[in-house]
Chain A
């Protein structure tokens, strides 16, 4: 067993892990952060996407020990208290989800996409989330959701708040 310590959603979390334990299992099983999902075992589907030091990472591709010392945001830590993140709000407003299973990972990827490119074109959005599978929506409402968030974040009202 190896000791790990990382900041998850703003709190320092410590654990004892087998070196082979994947980060996604550490988050889900030890920290009970079950909002991050597992949709495949080959790192294709993106359901387990979280932010590590601000960048989107598939948490099934990372061992918990590799995340030692890092700063992690999961879907549970995205909203500011009761105020949804603009991407979460977009997914709700634009019906960007159906079964919801891919949604946390999809939202975290979209957050990173918009951090890189605040006003992406539709093509850039579609390419940007192509590492995340959704089987329900056909992606169109997801694209709309991300456009909604981009518009909201880019609006003067939002800019003045920041």
Chain B
């Protein structure tokens, strides 16, 4: 390594991604690109009715087709696989990977075909006939709570998965409640805001649908499974348990993963089935989800109704808040389904110091695709409810929406701050973010623009929303998987660095940000570092990438493993330089005695010595490879403020987003370029929810928006240029001070856009509009119909 090279510090720099050369040249390997000799293709026959008893399945024509290896019905699969486990401590109904006698949502598998190629598999699926005795479909969650029109799971009366669980002020851990504080807050209020709000159902729609390749090798007794997953180690654990194998006998690989957004956390029936069939047949098998299947078979997000009440004084101070939540969880509990709405409870009070809060949570089964995590997972719902309520309060009190928020912020001096819901916010300066947003957007000028537009008869509105979210999830006490991450850093014999991380990415750029950190830590060039991930045979342990935890938890773990190696390497260097460890500096590809650059040893020379240490320093082992587990003591709580300007066409009701300004505080940033990309993507999904995306079911339980022809996935032409700014409030929870940023964009954008729409239509006396902002809905408000 040239001693004269001066390396720039990389943490905090806009470093181009190291992942990209393979991705922009078609060289990446996604799961559908995996081919194994003799590989068979799996297809799933899925229910086309929402709720029915299976009277008969005839697979004979399919079995007789050339190229069909086998057909399995639910009864056959039930012999191979136990009911699917969940990852939350909530009661759950029996859920088979393939339905045995009853189907409970459109898209639920009823049979599996194994064929020579995917075309034959599709032909064979078409040749299977299923006779159903159709039952009434349960689609309205509030009706479902009364047991009407049917009960979906016999052990869950009135379709209640979780019934009226209270939380907040006056609720003890054993569930006893004392209502005095919350009742007093409402009794002493000058104004009470009361609104039913719907945070509607969405389809995550990662651009790569799910897929799996399973390869059981009978002679070895081991299984390799490739899957488009966010968490290969969790997948390995569950595939092993379900298939009667040890964790040492299963290798899970997340190859290149084409987006996840929470929907690829869950371990799905298709993964268990592929593994079980490969084991049964002794052959490699592949299943690739079609988009039409993905709409039905991959978990949905959101779908939470909130009855929100805010009690306040006339000066804008909020005294109390009640939220009754009703979650439509669909037909079954998946891995995290039941826990997602609890995060909406936990974050109910947002950035505000609200002295009394009571939430109750009810989760209801319906004949729809199950819900689970989707970007933000409970926190966007919470921010939507509290921010819309704050906006309604501002409107009621004729206050500026910024002022009413300012009056209620948790002050910077109050951190760490324990909310009435039990969350302990790590750090924050909410007024700073608000002021930064007001300044960046030029709030007063925007108001003048809006008023001028209105004077011309245009319908223009402004919206403002704060958010605080949970990132860097978090201690094992809150996660059944364990809440840590694992890393190993090895300085190789040639002085290059190999590192492994359990934070298995799917677009986050971890290969770049993690290498930036190690480059600075060791004083070496970025291209001397390789980050390995996504393969349980290479990465010893791990949890995965979700809950905006890659950097805050995974990055910290890598930093700690790096520090261990560096400490050991310094001892070898000290031996070579006959110096004290405390006097050494790692920089520019060398290790030198501070103030004596001529003494420098090349990094690679010290590495070589560590592997052939003659003499071996006393008390030391050879080699340079160390691992670390890191478990944070708490989540991190990033925050921000989003401002939007929106215009609604008076003639057509069509809304158009004119401006979106986002100030986000994610703590210290490793790579601002990547952070911006994360925020842009989150904004797009939040704006998509507010304006055009919605999973719509009809009365018979059919997903009406079941393809990209019907479900409005945002296009480039749907957005203005986003304007991003940041404040930096480091977290004390980890040594990097990094909080996480993956989900932030979905939190502020939805309430700020709906508030802008309400503002635009304020002349019609409207105080709230449910998402999404369908032109017809807005047109009816403008033209005197019901919203």
Interface, chain A (partner B; CB < 8 A): 18, 20-21, 28, 33-42, 44-45, 47, 74-76, 78-79, 84, 88, 91-93, 95, 97-104, 107, 122-123, 125-127, 129-130, 132-143
A34, B32: Cβ atoms under 8 Å?
A: yes
**Chain B residues with CB below 8 A from A103, complex form:** 23-24
> How many angstroms between the C-alpha atoms of A39 and B209 in the bound complex?
7
Q: Which residue of A lies closest to B713 (CB)?
A: A133
**Chain A residues with CB below 8 A from B673, complex form:** 95
Minimum distance in angstroms from A112 CB to a CB of chain B: 15
Tell me if B379 is interfacial: C-beta within 8 Å of chain A.
Answer: no
Tell me if B206 is interfacial: C-beta within 8 Å of chain A.
Answer: yes
Rank and list the top 3 A-B pairs by shortest CB-CB distance, nearest first: A35-B26, A101-B258, A99-B507
> How many angstroms between the C-alpha atoms of A41 and B706 in the bound complex?
11
B17, A135: Cβ atoms under 8 Å?
A: no
Interface, chain B (partner A; CB < 8 A): 16-17, 19-30, 32-33, 119, 205-209, 256-259, 261, 290-292, 506-509, 673-674, 676-678, 680-685, 707-709, 713, 715-717, 719, 721-722, 745
What total count of A-B pairs have CB within 8 Å?
177
A135, B681: Cβ atoms under 8 Å?
A: yes
Contacts A37-B30, A137-B681; A42 near B24 (Cβ below 8 A) = no
CB contact between B19 and one of A34, A79, A100, A140 (< 8 Å): that residue? A100
B20, A44: Cβ atoms under 8 Å?
A: no
B680, A37: Cβ atoms under 8 Å?
A: no
Contacts A34-B33, A134-B207; A95 near B119 (Cβ below 8 A) = no
Minimum distance in angstroms from B684 CB to a CB of chain A: 3
> How many angstroms between the C-alpha atoms of A68 and B682 in the bound complex?
42
Contacts A18-B119, A143-B716; A97 near B20 (Cβ below 8 A) = yes
> How many angstroms between the C-alpha atoms of A77 and B329 in the bound complex?
46
CB contact between B259 and one of A33, A107, A136 (< 8 Å): that residue? A136
**Chain B residues with CB below 8 A from A79, complex form:** 25
B717, A136: Cβ atoms under 8 Å?
A: no
B722, A140: Cβ atoms under 8 Å?
A: yes
Contacts A37-B258, A103-B24, A133-B708; A95 near B677 (Cβ below 8 A) = yes
A40, B291: Cβ atoms under 8 Å?
A: yes
Q: Which residue of A lies closest to B34 (CB)?
A: A34
Q: Which residue of A lies closest to B259 (CB)?
A: A99
**Chain B residues with CB below 8 A from A98, complex form:** 259, 507-509, 677-678, 681
**Chain A residues with CB below 8 A from B259, complex form:** 98-99, 101, 135-136
> How many angstroms between the C-alpha atoms of A21 and B117 in the bound complex?
12
> How many angstroms between the C-alpha atoms of A74 and B30 in the bound complex?
17
> How many angstroms between the C-alpha atoms of A102 and B27 in the bound complex?
13
Q: Which residue of A lies closest to B23 (CB)?
A: A100
Q: Which residue of A lies closest to B208 (CB)?
A: A101
B22, B26, B673: most-surrounded residue (chain A CB, <10 A): B26
Minimum distance in angstroms from B519 CB to a CB of chain A: 19
> How many angstroms between the C-alpha atoms of A120 and B486 in the bound complex?
47
B16, B208, B678: most-surrounded residue (chain A CB, <10 A): B208
A28, A95, A103, A125: most-surrounded residue (chain B CB, <10 A): A95
**Chain B residues with CB below 8 A from A143, complex form:** 716, 721
- In the assembled complex, 25 residue pairs joining A and B whose CB atoms fall closer than 8 Å, in A order, are A28-B32, A28-B33, A37-B207, A39-B207, A42-B292, A45-B207, A45-B713, A88-B25, A91-B20, A92-B17, A98-B508, A98-B677, A98-B678, A99-B206, A99-B259, A101-B206, A107-B24, A123-B717, A126-B716, A126-B717, A126-B719, A130-B717, A133-B713, A139-B680, A143-B716
B17, A95: Cβ atoms under 8 Å?
A: yes
> How many angstroms between the C-alpha atoms of A133 and B722 in the bound complex?
18
B17, B19, B25: most-surrounded residue (chain A CB, <10 A): B25
**Chain A residues with CB below 8 A from B685, complex form:** 135
> How many angstroms between the C-alpha atoms of A88 and B684 in the bound complex?
23
> How many angstroms between the C-alpha atoms of A27 and B23 in the bound complex?
17
Contacts A92-B21, A135-B207; A42 near B291 (Cβ below 8 A) = yes
**Chain B residues with CB below 8 A from A123, complex form:** 717
> How many angstroms between the C-alpha atoms of A25 and B603 in the bound complex?
49
> How many angstroms between the C-alpha atoms of A153 and B331 in the bound complex?
53
**Chain B residues with CB below 8 A from A36, complex form:** 26
A39, B24: Cβ atoms under 8 Å?
A: no
Q: Which residue of A lies closest to B745 (CB)?
A: A138
Minimum distance in angstroms from B170 CB to a CB of chain A: 42
> How many angstroms between the C-alpha atoms of A82 and B468 in the bound complex?
45
CB contact between B709 and one of A39, A42, A122, A134 (< 8 Å): that residue? A42
Contacts A20-B119, A36-B26, A88-B25; A135 near B680 (Cβ below 8 A) = no
A93, B258: Cβ atoms under 8 Å?
A: no
B683, A99: Cβ atoms under 8 Å?
A: no
Minimum distance in angstroms from A93 CB to a CB of chain B: 6
Q: Which residue of B lies closest to A76 (CB)?
A: B26
A97, B205: Cβ atoms under 8 Å?
A: no
Q: Which residue of B lies closest to A143 (CB)?
A: B716
A84, B24: Cβ atoms under 8 Å?
A: yes
Minimum distance in angstroms from B44 CB to a CB of chain A: 15
B24, B29, B290, B713: most-surrounded residue (chain A CB, <10 A): B24
> How many angstroms between the C-alpha atoms of A136 and B677 in the bound complex?
8
Contacts A39-B209, A135-B205, A138-B684; A97 near B25 (Cβ below 8 A) = no
A99, B258: Cβ atoms under 8 Å?
A: yes
**Chain A residues with CB below 8 A from B19, complex form:** 100
**Chain A residues with CB below 8 A from B676, complex form:** 95, 141
**Chain B residues with CB below 8 A from A101, complex form:** 30, 206-208, 258-259
> How many angstroms between the C-alpha atoms of A35 and B680 in the bound complex?
25
A140, B721: Cβ atoms under 8 Å?
A: yes
**Chain A residues with CB below 8 A from B509, complex form:** 98
> How many angstroms between the C-alpha atoms of A92 and B707 in the bound complex?
31
